[in-house]
Chain A
Amino acid sequence: MQWLLKYILKIKPNFEEGQKLHWLYPLYEATETILFSSDEKTKSAPHIRDSIDIKRVMILVVITLIPCYIFGAINVGYQNAIALGLERSLIGNLFFGAMTIVPIIAVTFIAGAFWEILFAIVRKHEISEGFLVTCALIPLTMPPSIPLWQLFIATSFGIVIGKEIFGGVGMNIFNPALTARCFIFFSYPSKISGDMVWLVGPDGYSGATALSIPATTKNSDAVTLLDNVSQFDYSWLNLASGWIPGSIGETNKFIIFAAAVILMAMKLISWRVILGGVSGLFAMAYVGNLIAPYSDNSMLSIPAHYHLVMGSFAFGLTFMATEPVTGSHTDIGRLFYGFFVGVLTVIIRSINPAYPEGVMLAILLMNAFASLIDYFVVKVNINRRMARYAQ
């Protein structure tokens, strides 16, 4: 590949300061450093540096998302086959699913890259790799039936409002992928509120989601309600293994669990957020179960382990809540931050009558409060130091 490197370095002078093409320098820089690892040297101490960089971090997260894509494609095909009453092979399902989600991925990346490059050129900074993760996450949170024009607008909103107006990756307050999801949720509620299942099927074919069944039925036990559904298999095991209609990437919890373990082992995401999130979910679900006999709200009777596999909680916690920039920045803060994500998810699911799913709103809400949590953690640290100084 030396000829390519030679060529790239040969055209480099055209993009330097004072040349006609200088305004395209961010694009050139991105191409050069994506194709060939950087040759930048340290200028002062420390003279040696770790091999990890932001490109590596981001690309590893994207790699762990690939199994979600593959399963998502198969499941889209599978749900379509059920809706049409067809028998189709695994490969057939995969092929059908790929035909559905590849345009979704393409539109997301085109929109994301367009805005990222535009902002990099206008604001004269490097193209940040963060948009790769954002754009890889957005399709996974979308229903397969999403109209592409809505997706384009949502991605643009997520990248621009969620990230770029704050100055880019590292400075944003809200998770850009969730901002995009949230935009679509409130702008086109008829398509995406989560009351009805999402699948690519014949017109008029629909059904209730696992979360909306107990939400709309009063005075019943949630598990019994779910077991009685004949249209879809809403048993715990099937909810976990993901052969249900849903957003593209969030249905199979085993794959998400494996991804979480890998990311935690590589220390790219914080185990504290995950631990906090799961404990928060279990604690609040347990509290709900205690109240359930005195209420006509069937959602309160959902056991904790059902909450864990229903909706997008697992996906949101693993890939969205653990986002290091928008979450808490302190170790103790991360535990609390995760805990409240779990608690709020159950509260929004059970008590709020409007939205059957709560994890998206819970994470966005906690994004807003993350700095507040950090503020108190820092305060405690300072107070401890002051007490020590006073001795």
Chain B
Amino acid sequence: MPHIKIKKGHDLKISGVPDKNIVYPSQHSTLAILPNDFRGVKPKLLVKEGDKLKIGSPLFYNKINPDVKWASPGCGKVKNIVYGPRRVIEKIEIDLDKDQDSIDYKAHTNEEISKLSGEQVLEEILKANLFTYFRQRPFNVIPNHKVPPRDIFISGLNTGPLSVDIEVVMAGQLENFQNGVNAISKLTKGNVYLTTKKNSVLSSIENVKLNTISGPHPAGNVGIQIHHISYLRPGEIVWTINPQDVVVLGKLFRTGKYDPTRIISVGGPSVKTPSYYKVRTGVPIKSLIHDNLKSENVRIISGDVLTGRNASAQDSLSFYDYSISVISNDIKREFIGMLNPGSSSSRYSLTPVFVSLSEKLFNFTSSQNGNHRAVVPINAWERLLPMDILPNELYRSILAEDIEEMENLGIIECDDEDFALCSFACPSKTDVSGVIRQGLNLLQAEV
């Protein structure tokens, strides 16, 4: 089994690490789908307020690609459709019934799943409105189902701060995962690549090309794994899918039902008892952090602290997020902070400018720790990007909107999540990941 060793990167020592031994159930009476979670999609509603829904009923479709629809994660009534500026659909809220019925699709035995053809698998996934679990590289958007991917990549480990441990999540789901892998392997003429850590529970999975990876974050990012296993060439498309969603697809084929549950982590310095929760897609965040916060003045993030979305308690978990992080919004202003020799107890830096002797965890806040300045390239980005990419030059070519140069410098292999650590460490407080996304949008508009 090939092994990849990542040297560049960093594992953040952030406090509020969730306890992986207990998985709490979640109790809530509503669910919501946020169409803004899906990049480059023009949603067109298929339901209106008051409509009855089952689990798996289509909620809306993509105007650009009408075959791709979104499934309702709950059974009940459409309570509310929230529009934003210029009538953008921001939120579809569902009131849940006591009994949760699903739409029934065809169930298969394990053998039948292995014998399905690619067209059948794609057709059943589209019919169940679950195609949106796939995303493609380049651009990290929902793919066009008519173009078969070169390969499919699954990252079998999370290295992001406070993320869910895939080993714990997958322990009881191996059969469903295997069924899911068997089904989606029909969608590509290439390989399904699964990358795990050494001695993972997933190493028994068959029908995949298994790789192991070790090293600090972002080793668990699928983009980094693609770069090291089989890099993208211009014109090629690969699909990626989260392992928990492979389980969802596996269950769909095995039982004929859409099971929108996933295990997420709720953690961060401002959470009283950080732990795992079993939730459905679109769960209201309030139901997870209710009574569980250390203070009122906090920032709630759907996703992890490096890449997540700014959310509020009234908000819902995003479709592609598997964690909720809460950090404090209280910022202490130190007197002559720039001259303070820097107690490592309160300050955290990847450059050894604050002497740190202990291995303890840090209570990060939403402070930017400085003001934005012009870039002074002291190599902070290069040290954290385990790719053969020159981040500084790529950044400048994006600012110059020089699309040819961007392509030459390898932007198609990049995604903003891989550059999040660069933004974190940048002494000039430059939003590198935001600029990378800007470049990808420019390129996407061009092709």
| A residues in contact (CB < 8 Å) with B | 1, 4-5, 33-57, 59-60, 126, 128-130, 167-171, 265-270, 324-325, 329-331, 374, 377-378, 381-382, 384-386, 388-389
Contact = CB atoms under 8 A, between A and B. Distances in A.
B378 A324 contact: yes
A209 to B, nearest CB: 34
A390 B54 CA distance: 50
Interface in B1-26: 12, 14
Contacts of A38: 333, 337, 367-371
Contacts of A389: 233-234
A39 B352 contact: no
B374 A128 contact: yes
B376 A50 contact: no
A53 B374 CA distance: 11
Contact of B408 (A329, A377, A382): A382
A170 B376 contact: yes
Contacts of B393: 329-330, 374, 378, 381
A57 B309 contact: no
Interface of B: 12, 14, 231, 233-234, 299, 301, 303, 305-310, 325, 327, 329, 331, 333-340, 342, 347-354, 364-371, 373-380, 382-383, 388, 390, 392-393, 408-410, 420-421, 423-429, 431, 433-434
Contacts of A381: 388, 390, 393, 409
A47 B327 CA distance: 9
Contacts of B348: 50-51
Nearest to A167: B374
A49 B370 contact: yes
Contacts of A49: 367-370, 423-424, 429
B305 A39 contact: no
A160 B306 CA distance: 39
A374 B431 CA distance: 23
A35 B334 CA distance: 8
A325 B425 CA distance: 17
B373 A331 contact: no
A324 B431 CA distance: 19
A45 B420 contact: yes
A375 to B, nearest CB: 10
A297 to B, nearest CB: 39
A325 B379 CA distance: 11
Nearest to B329: A41
A388 B433 CA distance: 25
A374 B377 CA distance: 13
A37 B334 contact: yes
Interface centre among B12, B374, B382, B388 (most CB of A within 10 A): B374
A261 B423 CA distance: 27
Contacts of B350: 50, 52
Nearest to B341: A63
B197 to A, nearest CB: 24
Contacts of B231: 388
Given A40-B371, A330-B392, A389-B233, A34 B351 contact: no
Given A266-B351, A270-B379, A36 B334 contact: yes
Nearest to B307: A45
B333 A5 contact: yes
B271 to A, nearest CB: 14
Contacts of B353: 51-52, 56-57, 60, 266, 268
A267 B351 contact: yes
Given A38-B337, A378-B393, 9 more contacts: A39-B333, A45-B308, A49-B367, A54-B370, A54-B427, A57-B427, A170-B374, A324-B378, A325-B377
A171 B410 CA distance: 25
A56 B423 CA distance: 17
Name the 8 nearest CB pairs between A and B, nearest first: A53-B370, A37-B337, A170-B374, A51-B347, A48-B364, A1-B335, A36-B333, A55-B338
Interface centre among A46, A128, A330 (most CB of B within 10 A): A46
Nearest to A328: B377
A345 to B, nearest CB: 24
A5 B252 CA distance: 60
* Overall SS of chain A's interface: loop
B327 to A, nearest CB: 6
A169 B427 CA distance: 13
Nearest to A265: B352
30 contacts: A35-B335, A36-B337, A37-B333, A37-B337, A38-B370, A41-B368, A42-B368, A45-B303, A45-B423, A47-B305, A48-B12, A48-B306, A49-B368, A49-B369, A49-B429, A52-B425, A53-B428, A53-B429, A54-B427, A56-B338, A56-B353, A167-B374, A267-B383, A269-B378, A270-B379, A378-B409, A381-B388, A381-B390, A382-B409, A385-B410
A6 B79 CA distance: 47
Contacts of B339: 59
A257 to B, nearest CB: 19
Nearest to A327: B377
A167 B234 CA distance: 37
Given A49-B429, A51-B348, A54-B373, A44 B434 contact: yes
Contacts of A331: 379, 382
Nearest to B232: A389
Nearest to A269: B378
A378 to B, nearest CB: 5
A266 B355 CA distance: 10
Nearest to A59: B338
A48 B305 contact: yes
Contact of A47 (B310, B347, B427): B310
B390 A330 contact: yes
Contacts of A167: 374
Given A45-B420, A267-B378, A54 B388 contact: no
Contacts of B370: 37-38, 40, 49, 52-56
Contacts of B367: 38-42, 49
A56 B337 CA distance: 9
A42 B371 CA distance: 10
A33 B376 contact: no
Nearest to A63: B339
Nearest to A37: B337
Contacts of A385: 388, 408-410
Nearest to B325: A47
A171 B339 CA distance: 26
A33 B338 CA distance: 9
Nearest to B383: A267
Contacts of A386: 408
Given A46-B305, A50-B350, A385-B408, A56 B427 contact: yes
Contacts of A265: 352
A171 B390 CA distance: 19
A384 B408 CA distance: 10
A57 B376 contact: yes
A330 B377 CA distance: 9
A388 B389 CA distance: 13
A265 B392 CA distance: 22
Nearest to B412: A389
Contacts of B340: 37
Nearest to A272: B379
A60 B329 CA distance: 28
Given A48-B14, A51-B354, A378-B409, A329 B374 contact: no
A37 B365 CA distance: 14
A178 to B, nearest CB: 17
A269 B351 CA distance: 11
